[in-house]
Amino acid sequence: MGEQRLIHWNERGEAHMVDVSGKSETVREARAQGWLKIDPEALLRFQAGSLDKGDAAAVARVAAIQAAKRTSDLIPLCHPLRLSGVEVEVRAHPPNRLEVQAVVRCTERTGVEMEAMTAVSVACLTLYDMLKSLDRGMEIGPICLLEKSGGRSGKWMRGDHGD
């Protein structure tokens, strides 16, 4: 792998925001995934659309998009990015799991990995909130980056496909 420098630290060991002004703008994309382990009966209610709070998947998608757009407000050293697209899917995997995937795109000087993972994380938290009356013992995770493209480092894909 070679030696990699931690770039969020300056020569004095202090945290700082990386200067990306010298980088070229390129099309960047990242796909992240998250899981919610849920009681099988609660999953059936989710699939049937019979939740007291309404359409949990729709609310989770909107929450994910909002979160992607606000990532730099949540994670201190992230650059604010002009996102050009955020797609979010919520899929049931019987008997007891929900999967969330988010794809985030932009044309920028730095990548959108954090935006994709933030979107997935907030979608999972939103699903928990929407379903907690049915199952307070839900578990969130793992959350991971599946792939990214663009920038100097080019394309990267998770070897295990996140499953």
Strand partners, 27: 107
> What letter does residue 47 receive in the DSSP assignment?
H
Residue 129 annotated in active site: yes
At 85 the three-state DSSP class reads strand
Contacts of 98 (CB under 8 A, 6+ apart): 35, 36, 38, 43, 46, 90, 91, 92, 127
Closest CA to 32 of 127, 124, 139, 108: 124
Q: Catalytic one among 55, 129, 135, 160?
A: 129
Closest CA to 44 of 123, 125, 98, 124: 98
Closest CA to 155 of 56, 36, 26: 26
**CA 148 to mean position of chain CA atoms:** 12
> Catalytic amino acids?
129
